[in-house]
Structure 1
Amino acid sequence: MSLAIFDLDNTLLSIDSDHAWGEFLLEQGAVDPEAYKEANDRFLADYEAGTLDIHAFLEVALKPLTEHSPEQLAAWHQQFMASKIEPHILPKGEELVARHRSRGDTLLIVTATNRFITGPIAERLGVDELIAVEPERLGERYTGRVSGTPSYREGKVKRLEAWLADRDLTLDDSWCYSDSHNDLPLLERVDHPVAVDPDPTLRKEAERRGWKIISLRD
């Protein structure tokens, strides 16, 4: 049995779900319309450039979770799934997940987006295992802090290693699919790295290393 690791944003989805959640909050009037939009767009640009300060980003991104009740957040997320996520689930991405499932592979999404946003998306995609940024909670309320290591760049590898150790699994004959050069540390660890509709930096690196390059958007 192999492990099939999937990035989520711009890999199985045609959008960045973290940025889309920020846009959704703006539409709901749940955040400051000018300051939050500027920060949301700036952090996305930083991520794409590989210069994101993950802790500065999470300080802004997790704050809205502290300002609303669990019931309100759950209701918003249902709307978010219907309006922002469902139209951007890539059918070829679902087919790819299904192929690995039919082979008996263990399916795992590893994402730098937080679990509040991505937990229901992973469930929708039929992927039981998820490594994501873990927003800290006290009881039912979010604190705005992060629990443990953020699953971003080298943090994805650290979190994956802990996940494997807990389950007595290895990366033998493992696969990893991602669009982003930010995932190079993760892609380097598996036997079968696959660049999916890669950004220019990842495409160049994949070509140099002879990695497989595919598109789920054709």
Structure 2
Amino acid sequence: MYLGIDGCRGGWIVAMIDEDKTLSYLFVSSLDDLPEMPIRLALIDMPLEFADHAYRPCEVAAQKLLGPKKRSSVFLTPHRSAVYATDYAEANRMNRLHLGNGLSIQSWNICPKIKEAARFIATRTDLPLVEAHPELCFYFLNNRQPLLSKKALPAGTADRLTLIAAQAADYPAVIANTMRVTKRKDVKPDDIIDATILAIRASASDIQVVPADKRIGDRGAILY
């Protein structure tokens, strides 16, 4: 089984692709609720390490790949002290102290998910869970050109579903059904699409790594 995992309002949306290339989904409120199953590779859209001394080279390299118009889709992971701060003001101050820049509110909002993922991988060392980024995946499948459309808008949804359909014609219908049976208060359509592209790339034979000198499973690597 290959997994693509994306954080969402209610927890995590998990796209699963089996050996027959059948796509299915699972919604869990916590990563601890992931069922025991044979997993060949799981890609998660969440930092799995901290920026303890400087911004992570993998994220800087990922931003460079996506170019100036799309680089902002890759958040720079906060310093550990910022992630574990008690409030945004403290997090902003600690990030500026250690990394030289303040912390965006968007980055602060995902800090609970960063902490959850860090705790999870510390206890589930048996799970082949690797950091990835959906926009890099779409970039690769779009002939190494970033998708400039915004993923939360209809045009962005259409662009991403077109690339997904090129990988498996039946997947957009499975995605549409999952959108119907899930609640928007828990998971947004773009969360489902992001999880899907991660699962697709997890199952691919031509998976890529940034920085290019890293290998799958290396610390400080992002897959796409």
Q: Same fold (TM over 0.5)?
A: no
More helix by share: 1
More strand by share: 1
TM-score, normalising length: structure 1: 0.29
TM-score, normalising length: structure 2: 0.28
